[in-house]
Amino acid sequence: MGVRSHTMPQHPNPSAAAALDPSSSSANPGSALQPIPDHDRYSRQILFPGIGPTGQQLLAQSHVAIVGVGATGAATASLLARAGVGTLTLIDRDFVESSNLQRQVLFDEADARESLPKAEAARRKITLFNSSITVHPHIADLVPANIHDLLAPAHLILDATDNFETRYLINDYAVQHSKPWIYAAAIGAYAATMNILPIPTVEPPAPTSWKPTACLACIFPKPPTGPVETCDTSGILSTAVNLAASLQTNEALKLLTNQPHLIRRTLLSHDLWTNERSEINTSTPNPDCTVCGQRIFSHLAGEGRPHITLCGRNSVQIHEHHRPVDFASMSARLSRHTDIQDLRFNELLLRFRRGPHTLTLFPDGRALIQGTTDITLARSLYTRFIGS
């Protein structure tokens, strides 16, 4: 599928859409099972007038990138895959742990025991219930160096991250390339979503266009300062996660079926425990906005971006060294350390424990050091056991 700047999948011929030929579905490589015909799989969704046969074909032609495949991202990925979105790109830097199972719907106990990377675990589960779509897992941290390659093929970007640093990066990229994206967050019993439709910059105008909304920087010119709540400090209810994912997915379906006039043009927040609900108008871009008004993309340029970032759960992430790692050789070297325990690896990651700290290394040299938020200590452990 070609890369398009801000166009959504093109409206097919209605007569062709009505046929919904099941042979047009491309099964994932390696699937030995007879695919379920699309007219059976999606029959109840096609009956809904807002989708219909034409909308179902539009979904099949769509490519959505989900940044973060934790609680919200896993739920959103499941919903979009079941709805028949033809291609999903899943980007996540983390692996499955037992504490995830309370709310992250695509993972099970075996994934946690194996510390399987979330993007790959999600791909495997999606294949079990919809083998007719394509899923591209990327075990990576989304950063300025890789964002263009990872997000360029997608028609729509969905935020399911756990930090504002990445959200502002997505906002820069989406505004620069006129790609729609949807912000989503869940913490405690609180869920929030916001649709961002950037100002079109492609000439001539695209066949499918929209009235622009405010971007993230219009509403929040600066990232929050001081302590930020996370699920590790405030807890989280799976109900809040699923509300955020459902709202995000529902808006995505409107965009992917070429109905941007129906999307909500507010930042909606809802506390399921207190029943408090609020909306902030986002219908109009701020002409003085640094990003969509002045088109200054400081996050995309990497200005002020730390090489080491906290991932919000008594852990430090190090992604200073982008280099391929030979896990077999690394394992052989680490096995000579008498203070290292539980050393294991597969093609996706290498993991070991040293005292109160657990180090997880990914193929590109990125590492998560659990058991500390001390950046100096984390760097010391990385340098000692992985290398400088």
Task: Name residue 68's amino acid.
Answer: G
Q: Indicate the number of domains in the chain.
A: 2
The listed range with the strongest mean pLDDT (102-106, 140-144, 170-174) is: 170-174
Residue 302 lies in a domain: no
- CATH code, domain carrying 79: 3.40.50.720
Residue 255: what pLDDT?
Answer: 97
State how beta strands 134-139 and 87-92 pair: parallel
Catalytic residue status for 231: yes
Residue 240 lies in a domain: yes
Residue 151: what pLDDT?
Answer: 98
19 vs 368: which has the higher pLDDT: 368
List 231, 289, 292, 311, catalytic entry: 231
Residue 6 lies in a domain: no
H or E, element range at 191: strand 190-196
Task: Name residue 64's amino acid.
Answer: V
Residue 61 lies in a domain: yes
- CATH code, domain carrying 368: 3.30.310
Among residues 40, 4, 50, the alpha carbon closest in space to that of 263 is found at: 50
End of a domain among 265, 281, 297?
A: 281
Q: Where residue 17 falls among pLDDT bands split at 50, 70, 90?
A: very low
One domain, residues 18 and 127? yes
Residue 210 lies in a domain: yes
One domain, residues 84 and 166? yes
- Which residues have a Cβ under 8 Å from the Cβ of 112 and sit 6 or more positions away? 96, 97, 98, 100, 101
- Asked whether 156 and 62 are in contact (CB, 8 A), the reply is yes
Q: Where residue 176 falls among pLDDT bands split at 50, 70, 90?
A: very high
Containing structural domain, residue 367: 308-385
What average pLDDT does the chain have?
Answer: 86
One domain, residues 332 and 258? no
Say if residue 303's pLDDT is above 90.
Answer: no
Residue 173 lies in a domain: yes
One domain, residues 65 and 105? yes
| Angle in degrees, CA 357, 361, 364, rounded to 5 | 155
One domain, residues 320 and 246? no
Average pLDDT on 280-294 reads 96
One domain, residues 373 and 234? no
One domain, residues 160 and 51? yes
One domain, residues 114 and 228? yes
Residue 274 lies in a domain: yes
Question: What does 145-185 look like in DSSP terms, one character per residue?
Answer: TTHHHHHTT-SEEEE--S-HHHHHHHHHHHHHHT--EEEEE
313 vs 329: which has the higher pLDDT: 329
Residue 295 lies in a domain: no
End of a domain among 246, 281, 316?
A: 281
